[in-house]
Structure 1
């Protein structure tokens, strides 16, 4: 077993080399790339980061660490996965991987355009920039090895469904649920094939979670009783199923690469339905503000309704889970990820 640091919290399969962690996608995994963009999709202000390194808001959409950090930490690569666009990033910070994700991005290019964030295509271009910068520091041979032996994590699609499809008058009149999920899967497949062409060989792709049950969508589409919205969940399940099939096809097309779907739908739904089994109390609203609708700029230090004890909550804001929930999800996903990609 070869790994960058000896503090790995999970057993990595024998003969596996994980040189770095690279992350692409949306707000579930963005560690601060949006901070200097001209967009409303930001979280680099209190109370975000309330439990992060002494209460430091960094652009992570949670109270603390998010999956990007937790994967890198659990694998013993590094404690935090830095945002590539962080102006304070040093060359040595590039070793072990970085984060290219942009909160608000989606597989549908229109999704990123609507909120002025980095599309997935731009994130791929940043990966090229990363390789060029790292090459100047450690040389081409070591860069090629880092890229070939990196673990790649992709999380996108939530904003396509929640924002672009259901809440803007753009795609919903052009596509039904089935045809829009097909568009998303085609876009996801193109992204993964481009990532493969740039050297990625081990890729884990997050499935979509039960978006119809997250607090904001209960509020917006769940009626007076704020029930889970079955239309949303049906669309999510359809997308997840089609994406799983496409990953199997890509694995056949690229025999020297492995891609796997990381199921977040079932585990997060179970946490939402049975919060007490996991040590939580409240799963139908977030800690921040009223917890019914606030996320991003509406979740701010002047919102006096924010809870004092986040440990009882499944969600930090109305869209994003707490660090404790992310830890439960990553811990559950990591074993399967390593088996699927490295055994």
Structure 2
């Protein structure tokens, strides 16, 4: 009974100290007490039986009836004992043995009923509690069903399954992309390079065709006026003056006494190999354009050139080819991006023009850079193509030329009475390359004097060089410079050419313009 009670205490709501547990414990105590009393009655019956046995054994009577009487007594006692044992067994397996005990006969039945009746109200209370618990469970079940119907768990589960499938597909796609990412990047890089090359080729093709078209229009427009017009040599001859002496040569003549004054026909301040940036070819001992400007300032300050001469002179400005080419040297570490580098060149050009305008210059010609990316010397640069012009280099040239032309447009606004023209040397060079036979060229790729690939690996005059038979049929004289024939064609176009070559007017018009004298 104690073990059974211990098991019952493990159930929910029946733990030790609860109301149900106290009722059960009280009933168990009463049952134990009743069992004890029954055992005492049994002991009394046993003693009576023993006494009867003694009486039967020692009394007078039939000897054969003695075993029968003893057997009957034993059967009666056995039955009573069996009944008690059954009751004990039932008490062990069930707590509720009260009905059987009440139906059993005994001298303490009335007393037991009275004791049990004391717990009727407790049993009723337990029954009510059980009924209340059942009602509570029914309410919980109803609320749970209502909750499930509101939130529709089945739809939620179905939606969740669909989301899981989408996520699984996305993860699979991500893994697939991740596995092929290297191939994708490689393809993208190759595609970008291919697109760039196609764009460059298309741009060159369109530009070439536009040049040819304009040339044909220009030729048709002037043929009635000057069909047999011959090409004049160089700008100085157009004006009717001798070639300008280099500044240092004229200065040396003044020092040694062979000349009394600077030539009035003009002076050439140019220095071969120099550029717009002070650092360009500085190690070669060239005179940078900033020093050239200072030489001109010195002549003005020392009054070797008067104000009237300055206002009537043509100032021809062309520089930057060496700067562009040097920016691609493999042994120089670039410190600026291509765009920033071009902007630095334009800054120097702007400063130069500002200074000569302040010194009195009124007629300025700004010459663009030629197609530097097409010179034979490009073969000296790593990565430069042999079968076509160097696109990256020509792109920088175009950007600089665009800025230079815009600079010329601002001069009249900044300096009233000052006028500037823009000579498009780049377009002239590309025109010759696009239609070489028309301009008398048989070769617009190789150098006439030089060696190696395109004649650009060995400088003219150095060991291993070769000289062509007809220099006037070559666009390039050596690995870097145009031929004399090329210079003549460009000079003519700049002197008397149309708007496609020089704008807004040509040099001839600029030289004869009447400008405001300040």
* Higher relative contact order, structure no. (Cα contacts within 8 Å, ≥ 6 residues apart): 1
| Alignment correspondent of 2:42 | none
Residue number among 297, 308, 315 corresponding to 2:469 in the alignment: 308
Match of 1:198 in 2: 359
Aligned counterpart, 1:338? 508
Q: Which residue of 2 aligns with 1:120?
A: 289
Q: Cα 1:106–1:83, aligned 2, differ >3 Å: closer, same or farther? A: same
Mapped to 2, the partners of 1:125 and 1:219 lie a distance apart of 34
Aligned match of 1:71: 235
Q: Quick check: 2:378–2:384 contact (8 Å CA) kept in 1?
A: no
Does 1:282 pair with 2:446? no
**Alpha-carbon shift at residue 148 of structure 1 (Å):** 1.6
Aligned to 1:150: 313
Alignment CA distance shift 1:146-1:287 (3 Å): same
Matches within 5 A, 1:157-236: 157-163=320-326, 165-167=327-329, 170=332, 172=334, 174-218=335-379, 220=381, 223=384, 225-236=386-397
CA contact under 8 A between 1:294 and 1:317: conserved in structure 2? no
State how far apart, in whole Å, the 2-side matches of 1:168 and 1:192 are: 32
CA distance in 1, matches of 2:308, 2:457: 43
Tell me the distance in 1 between the aligned counterparts of 2:510 and 2:416. Answer: 14
Partners of 2:331 and 2:464 in 1: CA distance: 30
Aligned to 1:58: none
CA contact (8 A) 1:158 1:211 kept: yes
| Contact 2:244 2:267 (C-alpha < 8 Å) held by counterparts | yes
In 2, the alpha carbon distance for the partners of 1:318 and 1:284 equals 10
C-alpha spacing 1:98/1:294, structure 2 compared with 1 (3 Å): farther
Change (3 A) 1:309 1:123: same
In 2, the alpha carbon distance for the partners of 1:169 and 1:161 equals 15
Give 1:117 shift.
Answer: 0.7
Is the CA contact (8 Å cut-off) linking 1:209 and 1:268 kept in structure 2? yes
Tell me, in whole angstroms, the C-alpha distance in 1 between the residues paired with 2:411 and 2:461: 42
Compared CA separation, residues 222 and 283, structure 1 to 2 (3 A): farther
1:115, CA displacement in angstroms?
A: 2.7
Q: C-alpha separation between the residues in 1 aligned to 2:384 and 2:378?
A: 10
Q: Deviations over 1:115-172 (max 9, x none)?
A: 321011111122234446773xxxx7xx221112110101101111101x11165573
Quickly say closer, same or farther: Cα 1:247–1:168, change in 2 above 3 A: farther
Given that residues 207 and 265 in structure 1 are in contact (C-alpha distance below 8 angstroms), is that contact kept between their aligned partners in structure 2?
yes
Aligned CA distance change for structure 1 residues 250 and 293 (closer, same or farther; 3 Å): same
Aligned residues of 2:314 and 2:511 also touching (Cα < 8 A): no
2:247 alignment counterpart: 84
Q: Quick one: distance in 2 between partners of 1:289 and 1:152?
A: 33
User: Among 100, 109, 112, which residue is 2:278 paired with?
Assistant: 109
Between the aligned partners of 1:91 and 1:229, the Cα distance in structure 2 is 49
What is the CA-CA distance between 1:231 and the residue it aligns to? 0.5
Runs of 5+ unmatched residues, structure 1: 1-68
CA–CA distance in 2 between the matches of 1:180 and 1:309?
38
Per the alignment, in what secondary structure is the counterpart of residue 204 of structure 1?
A: strand
RMSD over aligned CA atoms reads 2.4
Structure 1 residues 234 and 131, CA gap change in structure 2 (3 angstroms): same
Q: Contact 1:210–1:268 at 8 Å: present in 2 too?
A: yes
Which secondary structure state, in structure 2, belongs to the residue aligned with residue 109 of structure 1? coil
Structure richer in helix, relative to its length: 2
| TM-score of the two chains, using structure 1 as the length reference | 0.70
Query: What's the CA shift for 1:103?
Result: 0.9
What are the superposed Cα offsets for residues 279-313 of structure 1, whole Å, 9 maximum, x if unpaired?
11111111112252267xx3217555122321221
Aligned residues: 264
Q: 1:112 to 1:122 in 2, by over 3 A?
A: farther
CA contact (8 A) 2:328 2:381 kept: no
CA contact (8 A) 2:450 2:466 kept: yes
The alpha-carbon deviation at position 88 of structure 1 amounts to 4.5
Partner in structure 2 of residue 252 of structure 1: 413
Q: Deviations over 1:59-115 (max 9, x none)?
A: xxxxxxxxxx8211111122x221111244734661110100001111111114243
Q: 1:318 to 1:188 in 2, by over 3 A?
A: same
**For the residues of structure 2 that align with 1:231 and 1:203, how far apart are their CA atoms?**
30
Query: What's the offset of the Cα at 1:183?
Result: 0.9
* Larger displacement relative to structure 2 (190-199 or 213-222): 213-222
**For residues 96 and 294 of structure 1, do their structure 2 counterparts lie closer, same or farther at Cα, with a shift above 3 Å needed?**
farther
Alignment of 1:133-144 (within 5 A): 135=304, 143-144=306-307
Once residues 179 and 274 of structure 1 are traced to their aligned partners in structure 2, the CA distance between those partners, rounded to angstroms, is: 34
